[in-house]
Structure 1
Amino acid sequence: MSAEEVRDRQARSAPDGAAVDGPVSLDHLADRSVAVVHEWFGATGGSENVFRQIAAQLPHAERFVLWKDEGVDEPDLRESWLARTPLRRTKAVALPVMPLVWRTLSRERFDVVVSSSHAFAHTVRLGVPERTRYLSYVHSPARYLWSPSFDGRGANPLLAAPRRILQAVDLRLSRHVHSYAANSREVRDRIRRYWGRDAVVINPPVDTDFFSSPPEPERHQSREYLLGVGRWIPYKNFDLIIAIAGAARLPLVVAGSGPEEANLRRAAARAGVAVSFEVQPDRERLRQLYWGAKALLFPVHEDFGIIPVEAQACGTPVLGLRRGGLLETVVDGRTGLLVDSVTAADYLPLLRRLDELDRDRLVAHAAGFSQQAFSARVRRWIAEQTAR
């Protein structure tokens, strides 16, 4: 499929088959005061990219964050008073203070406030509900509060009582939000279950143009190895990825970084196949790795998962867990193969079916998650919620 065909597909299609309409005007907000807020601002996270993309639709908006990490060169971010305290160094310790910070962020008052939230940013108050329109894009209700089985930071039994208190605070301080957007159906369901609110689904933006259009030499690599990409932490199941490669007798490349590196290197030494580690590859190198891989192994329950979309944009199929975001980003049997198992042997039949998949179809499917598609959907959401 040519680059032109891919871009045409991006303009016309959505991942769920719904049409993406033409540009939506936000001119009615030009003379209104607007704020866009985010939690803490790190270097390269997917949530930070969502914040940037939302802010790009509202170029005159003030941009607020709790703090930005050391070394982050992001202009025009207004940090909260929390940034001037030692609490900025430890997110877990700062967490109970965050609702107070969002309520004392600024004395300014805004007509429209759009939050990018994965902790307490959706509780921000920069006006009153009668005069201020509050919208919140949610990456997930705070997992360490609401889904501790997914996030070890909240799983300690000693934290059960504080967690219940913070859950009550989260609910009480977010009643003023007029509209929620969720980054996936998985997150929309959590918003309904935990907060009793509905949400429109707007999948996060992926730079599919970059990943689907590499230099010519990268497009003709022989696809001989399996690939695992992500943060090297326990719930990402990289130990299982290594076990799958070992059982399949196929070489593996593990790309990323994280605290589990030493454990994973020990597991790789026992795998019986060649396992190479790529520590913090840049985007160009990551694209090379995707284009050279036989398949991306992704046996992970994620809220959404940008990595599988990047892989499909490179024509690389995904073998993963039939849960969470993969149900949205992978079409089972067409752009990847999914299984209800975290046992290495159960992935071997999937590897034997890779030739069934059309790589051009993978690229076309991934285009539905493009930055252009995100911009169109988020503009429509903002327009619909502020034109009243």
Structure 2
Amino acid sequence: MSYEKRQSTQLRALVVHEWFASIGGSENVATTIRQAFNGADLLCLWRDKSVTLQGDGRVMETVLSSRPFHGRKVLSLPLMPFVWRRTHARRRKWDIAIVSSHLFAHHVAVAKGMPKFVYVHTPARYIWEPEFDERGDSLLARAASVLLKPLDRFRAQEAISVAANSEFVRQRVLKNWKRDACVIYPPVEVTEIRGVADWSACLDDDEKSLLETLPVDFILGASRFIPYKRLDLAIRAGELTRTPVVIAGAGPEEQRLRDLARDACVSVDFVLSPSNNLLRALYQRAAVFVFPPVEDFGIMPVEAIATGTPVVSNLIGGASESVLEGITGAHFQPDDDESLLSAVNRALALDCTSIAKHSERFSREKFEQRLHQWVSTTLAISAPAARNESVH
């Protein structure tokens, strides 16, 4: 165990996260932080009954966990900045608070003298970057953002230190909050993925049968079926290269994607709501994984890289940091057929035998190591400053 880990794991930590309606990327970060700090206590606005959280620490919720607010984000949204100021975190029973924030969790008020660390997935997009979040398109949201921006920036200054989940988000933090941040990439199950040579051997009979019905060579697109994920570009990549396409996931865009697939000049197969094992088998079988959205980071490209499959990603966004041009994949300019075609061809030409090793820097183990270094280093720097202030 490293010195930094020994030092920081001795701290009583409170982990703060927005809410738990499911276990996605940001929720996985919050649960990993809890585990890294010995099952620390957790504070969130609410938690759905369907979500099971491991660990010995307490799980505390706020007044928004009661009806009619529980799980209703739009109704709760105007109250969140105020609710975060009146929570259990104001009690002085923890040494530090570590906040996982993508909306207003960093507004949480903590006990006087308790260091507040903020791990930011993004400053609230609907306030600061409405072009990336449809919730920010309404007149009401735009009017509210005029009031919320100064408050959001002001409360971001309360943190003793800020970490961003990518350089892309770090630049957004610097621009919007006027604060610098270190970069700590979120945890991906790289070790687990790389530990299985053939994920198809882990499938049940129905999944194996489904996998065998798919083309031998195909381009894979996978995500939730929602507009900003741009799965239409995965289909377009198949058309441009005359390669069959497999689309995996689920969501409200399914019918529109099926309409596009029907009119496409190549075959397009759909795999709905794949299990983790099936998704990993699809990564391994795919000739290339096409990931078009502008994401804050992007877990799925790293998962694909961990299986040894090259990735084509948007030149804009956090995915361009994990997808290394000419090494683990290629980048393309959005809505540019020539750029997309060139990127797919460059990715297909790569030597796949050395791709997987480049995923190691995004492993859960690396995340925990950098997390402990962040906390220990920050506290070591701030302690002399605090002593000097008390002397003067």
Q: TM-score, normalised by structure 1?
A: 0.88
When the two structures are aligned, how many residues end up with a matched partner? 364
- Where in structure 2 are the equivalents of 1:54-65 lying within 5 Å? 54-59=33-38, 61-65=40-44
Aligned to 1:19: none
Distance of aligned partners of 1:277 and 1:178 in 2 relative to their CA distance in 1, 3 Å threshold: same
- Measured in 1, the distance between the counterparts of 2:145 and 2:313 equals 31
Contact 2:312 2:323 in 1 (8 A): no
Secondary structure of the structure 2 residue equivalent to 1:332: coil
Of the three residues 108, 116, 132, the one matched with 2:91 is: 108
Question: Which of 46, 59, 83 is equivalent to 1:77?
Answer: 59
1:283 Cα offset (Å): 0.7
Deviations 1:347-380 (A, max 9, x none): 2233333453121321011111111111110111
For residue 42 of structure 1, report the CA deviation from its aligned partner.
Answer: 2.8
Contact 2:237 2:344 survives alignment (8 Å):
no
User: CA 1:301–1:216 in structure 2 vs 1: closer, same or farther (change >3 Å)?
Assistant: closer
Rounded Cα–Cα distance in structure 2 between residues aligned with 1:217 and 1:74: 27
Mapped to 2, the partners of 1:47 and 1:122 lie a distance apart of 14
Match of 2:308 among 293, 305, 315: 315
Other structure's SS at 2:106 match: helix
Aligned to 2:204: none
Distance 1:217 1:199 in 2: 37
- Which residue identity does 2:340 align to in structure 1? Y
Find 1:185's aligned residue among 167, 178, 183. 167
How far, CA to CA, are the matches of 1:217 and 1:54 in structure 2? 28
Taking only aligned residues, the RMSD between alpha carbons, in angstroms, comes to: 2.0
1:255-294 to structure 2, matched below 5 A, reads 255-294=248-287
Unmatched 5+ stretches in structure 1:
1-21
Residue 362 of structure 2 aligns to a residue whose secondary structure is coil
Matches within 5 A, 1:1-388: 23-28=2-7, 32-59=11-38, 61-75=40-54, 76-106=58-88, 107-109=90-92, 110-128=94-112, 131-216=113-198, 218=200, 224-387=217-380, 388=383
SS at match of 2:221: strand
1:69 is paired with a residue of what secondary structure?
Answer: coil
Tell me how far 1:46 sits from its aligned partner.
0.7
Q: Which has the higher mean CA deviation after the structures are superposed, 371-380 or 107-116?
A: 107-116
Tell me, in whole angstroms, the C-alpha distance in 2 between the residues paired with 1:29 and 1:326: 30
8 Å CA contact 1:223, 1:291 repeated in 2: no
Identity of aligned residues (%): 38
Distance, in Å, in 2 between the alignment partners of 1:256 and 1:24 is: 42
Greater mean alpha carbon deviation, residues 174-183 or residues 135-144: 174-183
Shift of residue 101, structure 1, vs aligned partner: 1.4
Residue by residue, what CA displacement relative to the aligned partner does 1:194-236 show, whole Å, maximum 9, x if unpaired? 01001010000110122223254749x9960000011111111
- Tell me the distance in 1 between the aligned counterparts of 2:302 and 2:9: 34
Letter in 2 for 1:381: W
Contact kept in structure 2, 1:37 and 1:113, CA below 8 Å: yes
Alignment CA distance shift 1:275-1:127 (3 Å): same
Q: Please give the alpha-carbon distance, in whole angstroms, between the structure 2 residues aligned to 1:30 and 1:363.
A: 31
Shift in Å at residue 293 of structure 1? Answer: 0.1
Task: Report SS of the residue matched to 2:324.
Answer: coil
Q: In 2, Cα distance between the equivalents of 1:217 and 1:127?
A: 48
Distance 1:355 1:26 in 2: 41
Cα 1:147–1:24 shift into 2, 3 Å: farther
Instruction: Give the conservation status (yes or no) of the 8 Å contact 1:191–1:197.
Output: yes
Q: Which sits farther off after the overlay, 84-93 or 263-272?
A: 84-93
Q: Counterpart of 2:126 in 1: which secondary structure?
A: helix
Q: Is the 8 A contact 2:9 2:36 kept in 1?
A: no
Say which is worse superposed, 40-49 or 154-163, in terms of deviation. Answer: 154-163
Query: Aligned partner of 1:264: which letter?
Result: L
